[in-house]
A = this chain, B = another copy of it.
Amino acid sequence: MNQPHPFDAAIRLEPRGEGHWRGNTQEAYGNMVGPFGGATAATALAAVLAHPARQGEPIALTVNFAGPVAQGPFDIEAMAVRTNRSTQHWSVQMRQGADVVATATAVLATRRETWSSVEAGFPQAPSAEDVPRTPPLDRVRWTRAYDMRFVQGPLQIGTPPAGEQDSVSLLWVRDEPPRALDFCSLAALCDVFFPRIFVRRASWVPIGTVSFTVYFHTDAATLAAIGTHHLLAHARAHQFRNGYFDQSAELWGPGGELLAVTHQIVYYKE
């Protein structure tokens, strides 16, 4: 009997009436507390994409992590707040019992071919095959669900990097076990970066993402063509200040296609 891929189990939603679903967090995507935020974000997007009124492909997704998500069941409501000719705006709420644990907004669109141009530069890196896999972290279960191959800026707890300090990371990454790329797994991959403050300070501090945004620069056919190949993922912070830092990152296909640009702002303690 075929087991579903653990990611498909993590984002699986059981219908509970129009626009309502129930899901269950999965151990395989466990974080230090609760589930991996990328899995939560992907589940919010999955609800929108599963809605019968859904029209188009994702352009923008913002998830606000309102409070801790407990391991276990959760309820999602997705509502189209406006449908235009080529765009559709969604509002999503995730609850556990009476508590709102996350809210999200998503914009879908039907795209047409137009003049196009990439301004960001595809980072220089050896190919994924030439970079060894970085071992997952014992204390962070979800890191086993990704094959990460760091080119720059790995997590080195207790070993602050020598020389100039920054929080830039560059890595090849894909689902582990391999799974064909789609919008939901791309959304989760956008949250795959270790918190920049862990990288910068080479130590664990309490953190929590408060708001997370993905801009999708791709389409289903491009994602299907990439399949199970690694993506090249490039992240940095702009500022750490009085309890909050931001992070911006790009995710590239192996052929140099810019698939997504993602941003988040994260709480940290001391």
Contact = CB atoms under 8 A, between A and B. Distances in A.
Interface of A: 59-60, 62, 64, 66-67, 81-82, 84, 86-87, 89, 91, 93, 99-100, 103, 105, 107, 109, 111-120, 166-167, 200-201, 210-211, 213, 215, 217-219, 236-244, 246, 248, 250, 258, 261, 263, 265, 267-270
Contacts of A240: 114-119
B118 A239 contact: yes
Query: Which 5 pairs across A and B sit closest by C-beta, in order of nearness?
Result: A60-B211, A66-B82, A120-B238, A66-B89, A111-B242
A199 B82 CA distance: 30
A250 B237 CA distance: 12
Contacts of A238: 118-120, 217, 250, 258, 261
Chain A interface, >50% SS class: strand
A116 B211 contact: no
A217 B240 CA distance: 8
A112 to B, nearest CB: 6
6 contacts: A62-B62, A66-B89, A86-B243, A116-B240, A118-B241, A217-B246
A248 B263 CA distance: 10
Nearest to A246: B215
Contacts of A99: 82
A64 B105 CA distance: 8
A68 to B, nearest CB: 9
A105 B81 CA distance: 14
A62 B211 contact: yes
Nearest to A263: B263
Nearest to A248: B248
A114 B270 contact: yes
